[in-house]
Amino acid sequence: MRTKSWWGWGWADQALDQAGSDQLARRVSAFLPLDGQVAPVPDVERLRRPRVAQPPIEARCDNLARVSHSYGKAYRDVIRNLRNDFPNPPDWIAYPRNENEIEETLDWAAHVGAAIIPYGGGTSVVGGVEFRDPDRPFVTLDLGRMRAVVELDAACLAVRAQAGIDGPALEAALREKDLTLRHYPQSFEFSTLGGWLATRAGGHFATGRTRIDDFVESLRIVTPVGISESLRVPASGAGPSPDRFWLGSEGALGIITEAWMRVQKRPAFRSRATISFAEYQAGVAASKDLAQSGLMPANCRLLDPLESLIAADSDSPMAALLLAFESADHPVESALDRAIELCRAHGGQVAPRETSWRGNFLRAPYLRDALARLGVVVETFETACTWGSFEQLHAAVLDAVSPAIATCRFTHVYPDGPAPYFTVYAPGRRGAELEIWDELKARVSEAVVANGGTITHHHAIGRDHNPWYQRQRPEPFGTVLRAAKRSLDPQRLLNPGVLGL
Ligand SMILES: Cc1cc2nc3c(=O)[nH]c(=O)nc-3n(C[C@H](O)[C@H](O)[C@H](O)COP(=O)(O)OP(=O)(O)OC[C@H]3O[C@@H](n4cnc5c(N)ncnc54)[C@H](O)[C@@H]3O)c2cc1C
C-alpha cells in the first residue's frame, strides 16, 4: 500500500528528497534569493480533543486522520501543515458506506449541532474542505468508501458510479471496455468524481468536452430534506436544469452520492506538434484562430516564454504552443496540418523537438511543495476572459504581482476567449509566507475581476474566492442560492461558509 502525504501533494514517496531539493535550490537561486534552509516536515502535535461523541457510523479521530483532513492542497495549506498549525481540526472523520449512513450522520449532526464537511479527495485549493468556525463542532464526511462503478451502459456510452471513486479507479474500470470518461484534471490521481461535480472541475483537454459538466447525464444527491435524482436522458428542455443547479454547489446544498456520466470510446488516432512563436502576442492570435476554426484540438496549450523555460524545459525563451489532436474514429493528421498552417500565418514555426510538458505537469505539485519548503512563495491561480479583454488582463496581473514573477499558460481555449492559468514565484520570508501570499492573491484577484475575468475558471469558490464571487454573481441569483440553502439545509449542516452560504 502506498502512503499519501499528509502535509503535501500526492504520494509520500514522490516528495523531493534532500538531493532533489538541493538540485532545485541551485536552479531556483538563479532568479530568487534563498536562505539555504529546507523546512522540516514536523511530527504532529497533540490536537484539541473531539468536542462531540462518535458519529453513528465508522469514524476516526486519531491525529493523522484529523490533520490530513484539516485542509486542502493549496500552497497555504502546505505552509500551515509544515507549521503544525491546526487550531480547528475536524472533531471526527466519518466514512459512510451508503446513502443510509449519510442520512443517519446528517440526522445525528442536526441533533448534536455539528456541521458536516463533504470530502472527496481533499484536493481543494480554495479552502473548500476547511471549516473556519472555531465554535461549532464538525465532522468531515469522507466519501472514500463509496467508490464503486455500479453500472455500465455500453450501448449508450454511459457509466453509473459512486461519488467517492477517484480518477484512476474509474478509468481502470472503463478501460476494460475500451471506454474513457476522458476527464483529466491535473489532480486526477487523487480527486474524485463527487469532488469534480461539486466544483465543476476542468479537465486538461483544451477544447470540446472537457469540463465535468459536459459529461453529466444524471445526478443523485442526499440532502437534509430528502434525495434528489434527475432523469437520465440525453437532453431535456424541461425547465431550469436540476443538474446545472447541483453542479458547483460545493457540498453546501447536498451530498452527491452517484452520477450517470457520459463516456467515450478510447482515442486510437493521435497527432501532435509544438509551434514556437518569437512574439507571445502572435501565439495568442494563433490560439484564437484555432479556437474559432472548428478544428477542436485536444491540446492547445500556449506557454509564455518564461513558462516554457521553467515548466517545459525549453532551451529557448520563445512562446510555445503545444498542439494535439486525437480521435477514436479517424486519423487526425489533416487536422494537425491545417492547424500548423493557421499558426504559420502568425509567424509560428514547428519546433524541431516536442516540448515535454506532461511529465512536468504531473510533477509540478511536488516541486511546488519542495519550493515551499525552500522558502519560496509559489502558487497558481486561473481565470477565463474574452479575447478582447485578455491583453489588458494579462498586463494587469503581471503588474499586480510585480516584483514577483508570474508565468502564464492557456489551459483551455474557447471561440470567445482563453482560460489563462498563472503561476507566481515570489521570494518568501520565513514565518510571513501566508501574509505575503494572501496580499498577492488579493491583488491578482482584483486585477482579474477589474479586467473582465472570472474569479475562477475551474478551481471553484470554496471560502477563499468568496469576496470576489459575491461581486461577480448577479444579486437575484444570490437570493436564489440563499433561499435554496434555507429550504434544503435549514440547520446549515452542510459545509457552512462555502459560496458565502
Ligand atoms: C495540484 C492540483 C492540481 C489541480 N488541478 C485541477 C485541474 O486541473 N482542474 C480542476 O478543475 N481542478 C484542479 N484542482 C483543484 C481540485 O483538484 C478540484 O477542485 C477537484 O475537483 C476537487 O476534487 P476532490 O475530490 O479532491 O474534492 P475535495 O477537495 O474533497 O472537495 C472539493 C469541494 O467539493 C465538495 N465535495 C467533495 N465531494 C463531494 C460530494 N460527493 N458531494 C458534495 N460535495 C462534495 C467539498 O465539500 C468541497 O467543497 C487541482 C488541485 C491541486 C492541488
Q: Whose CA is nearest to atom 28 of ligand 1?
A: 122
Ligand 1 centroid to Cα of residue 82, in Å, is: 22
Mean pLDDT on 430-440:
97
Which of 174, 62, 186, 52 lies closest to 111, judged by CA?
52
Q: How many CA atoms lie within 13 A of 247 on its CB side?
A: 22
Q: Which three cell numbers stand for residue 437?
A: 501570499
- Can you tell me the distance from the alpha carbon of 144 to that of 324, in angstroms, rounded to the nearest whole number? 34
Domain covering 48-145 in this structure, CATH number: 3.30.43.10
DSSP character for 163? T
Q: How many CA atoms lie within 13 A of 308 on its CB side?
A: 25
Q: Which three cell numbers stand for residue 73?
A: 492542497
Mean pLDDT on 331-347:
98
Q: Which atom of ligand 1 is nearest to the CA of 117?
A: 47
Which residues share a beta bridge with 149?
A: 161
Q: Which three cell numbers stand for residue 70?
A: 484539516
Ligand 1 centroid to Cα of residue 88, in Å, is: 21
Neighbours of 100 (CB within 10 A): 11
Burial of 37 (0-12, 13-18, 19+ CB in 10 A): exposed
Q: Which atom of ligand 1 is nearest to the CA of 184?
A: 8
DSSP character for 57? S
Contact 178, 265 (CB under 8 A): yes
Ligand 1 pocket, 497 CB below 6 A? no
Ligand 1 centroid to Cα of residue 424, in Å, is: 21
pLDDT at 9: 98
- Can you tell me the distance from the alpha carbon of 229 to that of 40, in angstroms, rounded to the nearest whole number? 47
Q: Whose CA is nearest to atom 22 of ligand 1?
A: 195
Indicate the pairing of strand 92-94 with strand 59-60.
antiparallel
Instruction: Find where cell 480547528 sits.
Output: 88
Indicate the pairing of strand 92-94 with strand 138-142.
parallel
Ligand 1 centroid to Cα of residue 196, in Å, is: 6
Contact 246, 253 (CB under 8 A): yes
Ligand 1 pocket, 79 CB below 6 A? no
* Percent of the chain's residues with pLDDT above 90: 92
Neighbours of 304 (CB within 10 A): 25
Per-residue pLDDT tens for 294-305?
A: 999 999 999 999
Three-state DSSP class for 112? Answer: helix
Q: Which three cell numbers stand for residue 419?
A: 482560460
Instruction: Find where cell 461581486 sits.
Output: 471
Helix (H) or strand (E) holding 397: helix 387-401
Q: Please tell me the pTM assigned to this model.
A: 0.97
Ligand 1 pocket, 310 CB below 6 A? no
Q: Check pLDDT > 70 for residue 194.
A: yes
Ligand 1 centroid to Cα of residue 128, in Å, is: 8
Ligand 1 centroid to Cα of residue 67, in Å, is: 18
Indicate the pairing of strand 115-119 with strand 138-142.
parallel
Ligand 1 pocket, 417 CB below 6 A? no
Instruction: Find where cell 463527487 sits.
Output: 194
Q: How many CA atoms lie within 13 A of 65 on its CB side?
A: 18
Residue whose CB lies within 8 A of the most ligand 1 atoms, among 4, 81, 187, 258, for a mutation test: 187
Query: How would residue 362 be classed by pLDDT, with cut points 50, 70 and 90?
Result: confident
Query: How would residue 356 be classed by pLDDT, with cut points 50, 70 and 90?
Result: low
Ligand 1 centroid to Cα of residue 95, in Å, is: 18
Ligand 1 centroid to Cα of residue 69, in Å, is: 13
pLDDT at 354: 73
Residue whose CB lies within 8 A of the most ligand 1 atoms, among 71, 116, 186, 213, for a mutation test: 186
Q: Whose CA is nearest to atom 27 of ligand 1?
A: 195
pLDDT at 323: 97
Residue whose CB lies within 8 A of the most ligand 1 atoms, among 119, 126, 357, for a mutation test: 119
Which of 263, 328, 323, 331 lies closest to 293, judged by CA?
323
Ligand 1 pocket, 501 CB below 6 A? no
- Annotation: CATH topology of 149-265: 3.30.465
Q: Check pLDDT > 80 for residue 368.
A: yes
Strands (E), 75-199: 92-94, 115-119, 138-142, 149-153, 158-162, 179-180
Ligand 1 pocket, 277 CB below 6 A? no
Burial of 400 (0-12, 13-18, 19+ CB in 10 A): buried
Q: Check pLDDT > 80 for residue 315.
A: no
Mean pLDDT on 336-353:
95
Mean pLDDT on 191-213:
96
**Poorest-pLDDT segment among 54-58, 89-93, 146-150, 308-312:** 308-312
Mean pLDDT on 175-187:
97
Which of 169, 52, 147 lies closest to 105, judged by CA?
52
Contacts of 13 (CB under 8 A, 6+ apart): 2, 3
Ligand 1 pocket, 466 CB below 6 A? no
Which residues share a beta bridge with 319?
A: 277
Report phi then psi at 70, rounded to 5: -75, -35
Contact 112, 52 (CB under 8 A): yes
Q: Check pLDDT > 80 for residue 355.
A: no
**What is the amino acid identity at position 308?**
S
What angle, rounded to 10 degrees, do the helices at 387-401 and 433-450 form? 150
Per-residue pLDDT tens for 27-41?
A: 888 888 999 899 999
Residue whose CB lies within 8 A of the most ligand 1 atoms, among 14, 191, 213, for a mutation test: 191
Q: Which atom of ligand 1 is nearest to the CA of 72?
A: 29
Q: Whose CA is nearest to atom 11 of ligand 1?
A: 201
Contact 391, 31 (CB under 8 A): no
Helix (H) or strand (E) holding 398: helix 387-401
Per-chain mean pLDDT for the chain: 96
Contact 181, 149 (CB under 8 A): no
The CA–CA distances, whole Å, from 13 to 10, 366, 370 equal 9, 10, 13
* CATH class of the domain at 269-450: alpha beta
Per-residue pLDDT tens for 259-271?
A: 999 999 999 999 9
Contact 225, 487 (CB under 8 A): yes
Burial of 7 (0-12, 13-18, 19+ CB in 10 A): buried
Torsion of CA 163, 167, 172, 174, to 10 degrees: 60
Residue whose CB lies within 8 A of the most ligand 1 atoms, among 11, 124, 205, for a mutation test: 124
Q: Where are the domains of the chain?
A: 48-145, 149-265, 269-450, 466-500
Ligand 1 pocket, 495 CB below 6 A? yes
Neighbours of 227 (CB within 10 A): 13
